[in-house]
Amino acid sequence: MSAKAGGPVYKGVGKLPDRALFLFSVLIYAFLYAPILVLMFFSFNSSKSTQTWTGFSTEWYGALLRDQTILDAFFNSMKVGVTATIIATVIGTFTALALTRHNFRGKLAADTTIYAATVMPEIVVGVSLLVFFVATLIPLGIELGIATIVIAHVAFTISFVTIVVRARLAGMDQSLEEAAQDLGANPITTFLRVTLPLILPGVMAGALLAFTLSFDDFVITFFVSGVGSSTLPLKIYSMIKFGVTPVINALSTVVLVATMILIFGGSRLLAGKEGE
């Protein structure tokens, strides 16, 4: 048995605790995916309802392709999500590094600010940011739009990234990085080739969280968006008054299936590359 850096290879799920853990995990995934299956089911509903089944139809997929407002909203969400995630992840990671590895005057204030950015209810963040933007950006000629949404999303997700990356950094010793520097690597190289790979799972987890928060955000986004910059949640939550139709289920199904293909396809590709 090869003693790789990842540790010994466990043999399957033979023992009872292993079996119980496996079963438990399957149940949790089932819990997470139960409503997903239901929503995919209703994407084929033959009436406007997302809760009363009346028959099978693919009309909503057709409606999806014809509805430019939904497609535009989806692409806006993607644009905002990806951009905000990248920025927030970078800034959040730097912040986590600073807070975990240094003691400095004003550290408590910094810590508190990071936490404070998570505790303010979204509606006050949204309203106050709007007023702020109107007072500062509009006179400069910057309209409300994708840019203001991205700014707002980064502002409220940085802290989440920071907190997650800190969890990863905590207790992590710096001997590898010091060794690299002793061997002559400059700070940037050390960061890119030693530190980053070590903390990558934490950074990826933070990025995932930031993207998820951004993609489904409604309240803050509503206030700081402008003409033509509606995101998907804005479109969906505004459908409540007259009823969310299965066209949203259809969109979600398409996105889910595409994501699954990407994930499994991607991991196959990587597994192929690494060889065995």
Partner 1 sequence: MQNRDAKISRGRFLKAMGAAGVAGSTLSILSCQPNTSATGGGGGSGGGPEEKELALYNWSDYVAQSTIPSFEEKTGIKVTQDFFGSNEDLLGKLQAGATGYDVIVPSDYMVTVMIKSDVIQKLDKSRIPNTKNVGDNYMGLSFDPNNEYSLPYQWGTTGILYNKKETGELDGTWDTLWDPRFEGQIAMLADSRETIGAALYKLGYSANSKDDAELAEAEAELKKQQPLLRGYFISTEIRPLVQNGDILLGHVYSGDAFLALSSNEDLDYIIPQPQASRWTDNMCIPNGAPHPDNAHKFINHILGVDTGAKLSNYTYYNTPNEAALPKIAPALKDLPGYTLTPEIFERLEVIEDVGAKTREYERIFTEVRSA
Partner 2 sequence: MGEKGRGWTLGLAGLLTPVTIWLGLFFLIPLLLILMYSFGTSGVYGGITLGFNPGNYLKVFDPLYLEIIVRTFVIAAITTVLCFALGYPLAYFIVFKGRRWRNVLILLVMVPFWTSLLIRAYSWVVILSGNGIANKTLQFLGIIDEPATLIFTSQAVLMGMVYSYLPFMILPLYASLEKFDTRLKEAAQDLGASRWHTFWRVTFPMSLPGVIAGSILVFIPSAGEFVIPQLLGGSRTVMTGSLIQNQFGSARDWAFGSALSVMLAVLLLAAILFYVRRVGTDKLEGT
Residues between 195 and 254 with contacts to partner 2, criterion CB under 8 A: 198, 201-202, 204-206, 208-209, 212, 215-216, 232-233, 236-237, 240, 244, 248-249, 252
Q: What is the closest distance, in whole angstroms, from the C-beta atom of residue 154 to partner 1 in the complex?
A: 18
Q: What is the closest distance, in whole angstroms, from the C-beta atom of residue 126 to partner 2 in the complex?
A: 9
Q: How many residues bind partner 1 (CB under 8 A)?
A: 38
Binding mask 89-128 for partner 2 (x = CB under 8 A): -xxx-xx-xx-xxxxxx----x-xxxxxxxxxxxxxx-xx
Give the count of alpha carbons within 13 A of 176, CB side only: 13
What tokens appear for 123 in the block? 């509606």
Binding to partner 1 (CB under 8 A) within 67-126 occurs at 69
3-state secondary structure of 56: strand
What tokens appear for 193 in the block? 């080739």
Q: How many residues bind partner 2 (CB under 8 A)?
A: 109
What tokens appear for 196 in the block? 């980053």
Cα–Cα nearest to 194, from 202, 107, 186: 186
Binding to partner 1 (CB under 8 A) within 187-226 occurs at 222-223, 225-226
| 113 or 267: CB nearest partner 1 | 113
3-state secondary structure of 4: strand
Using rule CB under 8 A, residue 62 touches partner 1? no
Cα–Cα nearest to 42, from 244, 196, 226: 244
Q: Which listed residue (136, 189, 259, 267) binds partner 1 by CB under 8 A? A: 136
- CA–CA dist 246, 39 (Å, integer): 8
**Residue 69 interacts with, from partner 2, partner 1, none (CB under 5-8 Å by kind):** partner 1
Q: What is the closest distance, in whole angstroms, from the C-beta atom of residue 50 to partner 1 in the complex?
A: 8
- CA–CA dist 158, 87 (Å, integer): 9
